[in-house]
Structure 1
């Protein structure tokens, strides 16, 4: 098997890009701190080995040919990849992680996290972010086994510390035409026994799907709240849903809230945990710091004051 040997160099493509970006050989030479003749030679050599004309000079300015337009566009992908590769090597040399794994409990509203992710992306030095949706003991498993770098959870395992990060609220909902919606509210838990409950699958390797189960005789298990929402809106059963998912549908009359005698909703705190403790890498710490900087918009003033005291 023969090995392909490139005819061109990355430096030649960078010089071509500079000539185009800075409007000619003279300005490009100033920016690159090279002689104009060396740039002319590099581009001429590039065109010679490729056998195509990339630039044509009119007056004192160089213009891209049609072929040059295509080649220049592809060359930018090449030089960007090389830059990222070299940056990655530098990052790894100084202990910067190539990837960070964030485990997020599904009851957490993701919308407020998007600007944080965008900010993190600008400073992550090319590290990849892997986001895992977790449920119930699946979240605890990520903490105990230290399989994630950063975890947002509603429950802290014994002996594990976490920073209050956000509040969550869940409500019991069904379709407005469902039999449960026609009963006088609040209903009794026994009223639920003969109706279908939709629950979210525990993501642990050895799941324990007991939290949130209301002892209904019929139970369907789905992997995500999005699927549960579709089923409930179609008229199938009832389900505990985070208010950030159910609120709009309730307002539009597509869902109705159910209240059980002694329980109108469920709420609590979400905590940010670094499972690896002092072994947490710098990139994961960067993400955690940015998440914590945003928590003033996720927590009530009372809870925030308590977490900072």
Structure 2
């Protein structure tokens, strides 16, 4: 019976994905504190808080250590034992780190422009008739031959004529062309309109369109007419040339500006001091501050 259980454990391990096999090996190496390729009784007890009986049960050759195959049997037994302790409708489980990584990879595989398309569509649907008319006029101004669709030639001609040099390239046209049919329909041009109106940026390092999170130079944002924005890859790899070094991602920058606005709002307004001014209300300038009354305070004449 024990031999069948060991064979089942090995089959379960060998039939798993490469990621699962690597995770099992990593766990074994984590327990193997001295790195000798085997687990001593003390290493197992210290890590898993188990008793000697458990160790001896899986020490098949009774040599006082567990090799990797013996550990696989122990690992499988623990998994089987855990499953028998609860009832649930589903059988697929993942540890929290693996689940987060899977979600991260899934987000990377999604179309990064999809969120912008949804925002642009909502912006149009909830907009006023004036906004909708502006979008239609924008589309018609690009549709040179009036066939109800925008070709690459029409797109490039419009961008060049309007002075949008960063957008005037075939790569950005492909970014907008969701269905890949080499033309832009009204919905795809709608997203372009939203991108232009909302001030979306291109990376100053590699020139890619910044569709999600990016970094902005705080100094240029506050003082220059043109803000300096770069993608995370260019920022991490120092693939940019700029005179300032203070960068924040777009969400952090927005929060910083919000906090500054709140701080300014809460700051007490400066009021004339009664020692320097004569008030035309009884009680002096304190009344102005207390009730928010705006009155003229006359400077005292110098004695």
Fold agreement, TM-score > 0.5? no
- TM-score using structure 1 length: 0.29
Greater fraction of residues in helix: 2
Larger Rg: 2
Higher relative contact order (CA 8 A, sep 6+): 1
